[in-house]
Structure 1
């Protein structure tokens, strides 16, 4: 990647467990009350399949959206978030260029519709309804809605998908392939079956309040509570009133294990160093590490170790996963949105501290100054990604 070129986030849209809209996300975070609620069918596995599960803590997107946006929750959330980001960018003075591209960061698409396709509808659907199962369909309908003619493409890198999409958008803009990019990251995959397997992996907590079970960089953390989200950004070189500037970033892969981080941390370190080099900034300019921070021992230890090695003593770290949940393929995008909104509003609503913590941990309402934010995301399977964000230029 080349040096920084004035690429900015100028529109934000969000659908999360807190509700439909970026203000619902922001106000939900400000309450410091987790989005997760006890939901029937997501509790402990008693060996009898999903029908035997009691209530468990998950942060599912509530019902909503437009019927005309699609049959499934996935398509409705994706198009609602994108529409909000585009309208927000227009209000803030953005005028789209001739070639607006669309990137959709996604791991799993219409999981509920696919389940019904096989188990309830026995593979018998009208062609139009069958096409709605494809993750490319809501992208195409969004392009039609706005008359955008740039490239449209899915990006997938597990939990790092949002960062991967942001870095791909940066490359598109720098290379001149597009004039502007709409980036959406969507994950509405919380079914009892999916949650149960993450519980079996030993990383997901469903049996206690999120602030009790998910404590990134604090003692007693048992993992993460699962969440859902669709988050969208408009990225442009021509933003009049941007939220944040995207200075640079980097990605690498551990090539080590399906779930575990390489204990040498070589590739994770490389991503941090390469991201700062790509942004053209020293580590001393970083004030905030907006961490992946899922509350698992290996991820939290990895990020805390690198923060202590690389950043100044007054650089803080935080993770909003105890509040929004771990939104899987949309996780990085939710967390980028929090950082960008934080620059715009002068503070970040971080989760409360509930146990002895790493000395860098930020908690509560954190004032944000003009120092840089590094957003790291460590996707399962070895997908390392780091993005460097700045206040609007």
Structure 2
């Protein structure tokens, strides 16, 4: 039976996800696309708020193989993996090591300062913390992503503070790195990042270290801003969109260029997203638009305000799709979205074709909503 009672009424799954269930064989040729992967908690462990994260390693790594099998690179240990929201650095470091060891496709990994204790930190402490994590990532062979730092946001007084800290890191890097600009809708502690003239600071940094910057991931949910920044980057420096609202247009691009992708939503919609990207490779923009169109309402709902709880929806979808056996999260974050929000998510996910087994999705949805008080 594929019918479930949701908080807003009954719903029958369409089975649309069957069309995208089989991975393609061709790699993407016209765009680089990374999917930022979530982590699977060990459901038998004490993954409550404030406790060290305990992961189900088999399920966590199996999900990464799912992404690689569809042609995506994996963006490891990013904010989708609950950096700063339940995933401590001990678990993070092991996650990066294991993923890099098993990688069958491209992999980048987040470098931050989250092993420092919460609260104020000097710029020297921030610099040293970043350098330590940079060394950890480089040791695995993954490409580093220099993530925004809550500690730096709190300690930096001027644009020069950002330029000095990041400049030191780029000089230490063994090879190219990806910069990361995460907006405050994803993490309120990052308000004011890069200083008063943020664009000027970013362009100065990239201009001074172009040889070390592969690209910059921009997660600001502002399409016009991203396009303008993309057009101002030095030749050879990529813009990786992190805009989970406008990704089809940004990746498709225009006569003046396009964005590559490093997206959390791509982990949730990997099968149809892969089909869309292969259509773009073949020059079939009509199919590209058609496949991506129903994924956009889903993405906008997953990343709706408060945006920083989008991880809950990502994990709920992974459970419904059969990528893990339970709906629990490190830090107890499964409580981050309401049953009403998740009910709408079910409808949108079915329409987007991201649930390959309608019977399984319906059975799990019935179990969840029954416990939430919705009679089945």
Q: TM-score, normalised by structure 2?
A: 0.30
Normalized per residue, the structure richer in strand is 1
Q: TM-score, normalised by structure 1?
A: 0.29
